[in-house]
Chain A
């Protein structure tokens, strides 16, 4: 197997507040192989967005990466640990946007309203030119504009030569997200991070955007980390799934295993509690008891134990389970499967 493009190892991101320490990401590990779509799914406060920010080294203070490694590999060169790079240094800036690109959740907030969308993409193309085109003459403004028009065409924006000169507020939600995808793909990144890319748009437009991403992924073979809270979107997009809860990975495995043979009680409960188009109307849904704990009131032991139907008294309440294999390609952090070993801290 080819070595992974991205390897996150025991990542810890803590927020040091006056009231205490919020362990937003607390020992997260996963890998992304070339051309693979890895889905990160979880509810609010599970740390999925902070993980994304740590990879791009854009965690805002008082948040800090306090442990772990983020190994990013270019071609055959030895991997770079992104946590060691200075967030504002030249090395990180060469990676951010060029090698690792981001499709944010809210494209309205991501584009500048006082520059045309075309200008913003042209700027990125010219800024990162040496990353996506190591040799050749300097890119002229005119050439960059032509490339932007081509990019717009490839993401299905009609009348691309006119839309290049539009401001983001003149575009509809779907078009804006397409322009954002064009911008993310402009520098031919090795890894694309999509953070809830369809959460702010309507369902028929969402279907179009998901089709577009799937198609682009097949054509370019870009590796994608797809972050969402929507299990339907994950099932349709990802090949490998990481389920997070309160800053920790509960379970990870192939999309088929996670949806058809979930091992962790949290994954099982989550899958059962979604209202689906295929259930009988007006019946009570199975629910997960309680609610997500406050970030400062993290439970002792396994973070899910107060809401878990299978919690083992004296075990789950005391120790934190480590992520261990529960199948050929499936890992879970749960004492139901390895009660005697594998506790952390």
Chain B
């Protein structure tokens, strides 16, 4: 693969998002939750970057910042627009963002909450087209019908309402809506976690096929490692607002270099009674992002903690070609992956 030759589509640099904690009658500031704490990564054109972590690790906040559903506290988000310009999404005003919005779209987690129940499928999927200037109803009908067929639904369903569809079908409708404006970057936030196993496989396959056909770029946010492994070219693992490891899917699953990544893989129960898993479960709980521990955020739960981990904060550094890790002891540890 000519990975270095493909230009990047999105480059996130030192992204931070903190939420103030206010107490009392005067709402005085007593602290802050650092939900996203110095996150940097790039997404190349046509690739899928998986962003994985447990709840509260900041993966969804990162995704929302990129969509500018939230304004980041600091940092840059450079996006290569369709006309070749490079813009910093974090600096743009609402009006300046509007022409860019069709290029960055989102697939939501909940197929029940993300479609308007009072609108037909045609109106749900067609709304982004209408907003972006496709006023002609007949043209819109044709486009929506094509989108439905693209996502594996029959065009005669156009005038039905969302309640007539199953979870998997609704997720297909959500995907059709996200693709309506021909986006270049699609942010998918847990798109299959609300679906049943037999339907989950169908939607994952659909996303893989669509990516090849339409040369889409995905930021795929999920908590399920096996799903992330299945769909991603590269994977970033987050813990308490920071990326702790980033590498190609192959490298990270075969040779994880961060103890948290390795523990996350071991914790997934194997669907095979002869492969016992979970015996070396991580002790303790995820650190509080409002009051993170000194040194490495992971050190209270890490089985390899030494003195330096308790006092010094590790930086995200390269440990091999394109393999980044935030651990003082990454070189000496021999961790086992899941391959």
Chain A contact residues, CB within 8 Å of chain B? 43-44, 172, 174-175, 202-208, 210-211, 229-236, 255-256, 259-260, 269-271, 273-279, 281-288, 291-292, 294
Chain B contact residues, CB within 8 Å of chain A? 54-55, 166-169, 196-202, 204-205, 208-209, 223-227, 229-233, 249-250, 253, 263-279, 281-283, 285-286, 338-339
Please give, as numbers and ranges, the residues of chain A lying within 8 Å of B232 by CB-CB distance.
Answer: 281-282
Cβ contact within 8 Å between B208 and A281: no
Q: 8 closest pairs, A vs B, by CB?
A: A232-B269, A207-B281, A43-B196, A277-B338, A202-B54, A207-B267, A273-B201, A207-B278
Cβ contact within 8 Å between B198 and A205: no
CA distance A56 to B285 in the complex (A): 33
Cβ contact within 8 Å between A208 and B197: no
Cβ contact within 8 Å between B230 and A285: yes
Contact of A206 (CB < 8 Å), options: B169, B208, B267: B267
Cβ contact within 8 Å between B230 and A205: no
Please give, as numbers and ranges, the residues of chain A lying within 8 Å of B274 by CB-CB distance.
Answer: 256, 260
Please give, as numbers and ranges, the residues of chain A lying within 8 Å of B276 by CB-CB distance.
Answer: 236
Cβ contact within 8 Å between B271 and A276: yes
Q: Look across to chain B and name the residue whose beta carbon is closest to the beta carbon of A174.
A: B285
Interface core residue of B54, B201, B273, B276 (most chain A CB under 10 Å): B273
Contact of A281 (CB < 8 Å), options: B202, B230, B285: B230
Cβ contact within 8 Å between B271 and A204: no
Cβ contact within 8 Å between B279 and A285: no
Q: Give the shortest distance, in Å, between B321 (CB) and chain A (any CB).
A: 18
Cβ contact within 8 Å between B198 and A269: yes
Cβ contact within 8 Å between B253 and A277: yes
26 contacts between A and B (CB under 8 A): A43-B198, A202-B54, A205-B285, A211-B281, A232-B268, A236-B270, A236-B273, A259-B272, A260-B274, A269-B198, A270-B198, A273-B197, A274-B226, A274-B271, A275-B224, A275-B230, A277-B229, A277-B338, A281-B250, A285-B204, A285-B205, A286-B201, A288-B201, A291-B198, A292-B166, A294-B166
Cβ contact within 8 Å between B285 and A291: no
Please give, as numbers and ranges, the residues of chain B lying within 8 Å of A288 by CB-CB distance.
Answer: 198, 201-202
Q: Give the shortest distance, in Å, between A163 (CB) and chain B (any CB).
A: 13
Please give, as numbers and ranges, the residues of chain B lying within 8 Å of A205 by CB-CB distance.
Answer: 54, 285
Q: Look across to chain A and name the residue whose beta carbon is closest to the beta carbon of B277.
A: A236
Please give, as numbers and ranges, the residues of chain B lying within 8 Å of A281 by CB-CB distance.
Answer: 229-233, 249-250, 253
Q: Give the shortest distance, in Å, between A209 (CB) and chain B (any CB).
A: 9
Please give, as numbers and ranges, the residues of chain A lying within 8 Å of B209 by CB-CB distance.
Answer: 284
Please give, as numbers and ranges, the residues of chain B lying within 8 Å of A294 by CB-CB distance.
Answer: 166
Please give, as numbers and ranges, the residues of chain B lying within 8 Å of A276 by CB-CB distance.
Answer: 226, 270-271
Please give, as numbers and ranges, the residues of chain B lying within 8 Å of A270 by CB-CB distance.
Answer: 197-198
Contact of B265 (CB < 8 Å), options: A208, A277, A282: A277
Interface core residue of B166, B229, B230, B285 (most chain A CB under 10 Å): B230
Given A203-B225, A210-B278, A282-B231: A274 and B270 within 8 A (CB)?
Answer: no
Cβ contact within 8 Å between A274 and B201: yes
Cβ contact within 8 Å between B197 and A274: yes
CA distance A288 to B253 in the complex (A): 27
Cβ contact within 8 Å between A275 and B268: no
Cβ contact within 8 Å between B278 and A211: yes
Interface core residue of B223, B229, B266 (most chain A CB under 10 Å): B229
Q: Give the shortest distance, in Å, between B208 (CB) and chain A (any CB).
A: 6
Contact of A236 (CB < 8 Å), options: B167, B169, B269, B282: B269
Cβ contact within 8 Å between B271 and A44: no
Cβ contact within 8 Å between A229 and B201: no
Cβ contact within 8 Å between B196 and A229: yes
CA distance A259 to B275 in the complex (A): 11
Please give, as numbers and ranges, the residues of chain A lying within 8 Å of B224 by CB-CB distance.
Answer: 275
CA distance A279 to B204 in the complex (A): 14
Known: A207-B278, A259-B272. 5 other contacts (CB 8 A): A175-B285, A204-B267, A208-B283, A235-B272, A281-B249
Please give, as numbers and ranges, the residues of chain B lying within 8 Å of A175 by CB-CB distance.
Answer: 285
Q: Look across to chain A and name the residue whose beta carbon is closest to the beta carbon of B269.
A: A232
Q: Give the shortest distance, in Å, between B288 (CB) and chain A (any CB).
A: 10
Please give, as numbers and ranges, the residues of chain A lying within 8 Å of B168 by CB-CB distance.
Answer: 291
CA distance A330 to B230 in the complex (A): 32
Given A275-B230, A281-B232, A282-B231: A287 and B201 within 8 A (CB)?
Answer: yes
Interface core residue of B223, B253, B276, B286 (most chain A CB under 10 Å): B286
Cβ contact within 8 Å between B199 and A291: yes
Q: Look across to chain A and name the residue whose beta carbon is closest to the beta carbon of B248.
A: A281
Q: Give the shortest distance, in Å, between A224 (CB) and chain B (any CB).
A: 16
Please give, as numbers and ranges, the residues of chain A lying within 8 Å of B197 by CB-CB distance.
Answer: 43, 229, 231, 270, 273-274
Cβ contact within 8 Å between B267 and A203: yes
CA distance A259 to B338 in the complex (A): 19
Contact of B204 (CB < 8 Å), options: A174, A202, A275: A275
CA distance A281 to B54 in the complex (A): 21
Given A229-B197, A232-B269, A270-B197: A203 and B264 within 8 A (CB)?
Answer: yes
Q: Look across to chain B and name the residue whose beta carbon is closest to the beta carbon of A44.
A: B196
Cβ contact within 8 Å between A291 and B204: no
Contact of B230 (CB < 8 Å), options: A207, A255, A269, A279: A279
Cβ contact within 8 Å between B198 and A277: no
Q: Give the shortest distance, in Å, between A244 (CB) and chain B (any CB).
A: 13
Please give, as numbers and ranges, the residues of chain B lying within 8 Å of A204 by CB-CB distance.
Answer: 54, 263-264, 267, 281-282, 286
Cβ contact within 8 Å between A202 and B223: yes
Q: Look across to chain A and name the residue whose beta carbon is closest to the beta carbon of B166.
A: A291
Cβ contact within 8 Å between B278 and A282: no
Cβ contact within 8 Å between B339 and A278: yes
CA distance A265 to B208 in the complex (A): 26
CA distance A260 to B224 in the complex (A): 24
Please give, as numbers and ranges, the residues of chain A lying within 8 Å of B55 by CB-CB distance.
Answer: 202
CA distance A283 to B205 in the complex (A): 8
Please give, as numbers and ranges, the residues of chain A lying within 8 Å of B169 by CB-CB distance.
Answer: 291
